Amino acid sequence: MRIVHAYFAIARGMTMGVRAACFDSEGRIFLVRHSYLPGWHMPGGGLERNETAEEALIKELREEGNLRILGRPQLFHIYFNTAASRRDHVVFYKTQVEQTAPRPPDREIVECGFFAIDDLPLGTTEATRRRLAELAGDKEPAHVW
């Protein structure tokens, strides 16, 4: 995946991705663990040509978790993602979801699930924890992911 991101960084002037804090009816957050990146993250991915951010969000949540958005996703903030490149931005949403079927592990997503906010899995990334604190109003939204 890093090779793909490097290609897009060279081929495009700017890259943009989406991520979402996906909550179920019990208030639990959905997190994924990728095969190519350490830690637990909120689901998301990159925008393709001729794709809106919301279309990319719908696609990524379906692919990474068999998730269906209930209602409309709420745009929370847009971040500059310096960890990925000096040209990457993340459009971050908050949304209610339901899982249409269990998501079995594969080459990209090795593990996923819903977790209570006060009982996140070991290895949840600091960026994920910061976004959750921002959503809760405990911290002001940062401008860098």
How many CB atoms within 10 Å of residue 143? 9
From the list 45, 51, 93, 90, the residue with the least C-alpha distance to 69 is 93
CA-to-CA distance for 35 and 32, rounded, in angstroms? 10
Q: Supply the pTM of this predicted model.
A: 0.89
With a cut of 50, which residues of the chain have pLDDT below it? Answer: none
What is the structure's pLDDT at 83? 74
Which of left, alpha, beta for 114 (phi over 0: left; psi -120 to 50: alpha)? beta
What is the structure's pLDDT at 89? 94
CB 23 within 8 A of CB 114: no
What is the structure's pLDDT at 69? 98
Pinpoint the alpha helices (H) of the chain.
2-11, 53-65, 126-136
What is the structure's pLDDT at 86? 75
CA-to-CA distance for 43 and 57, rounded, in angstroms? 9
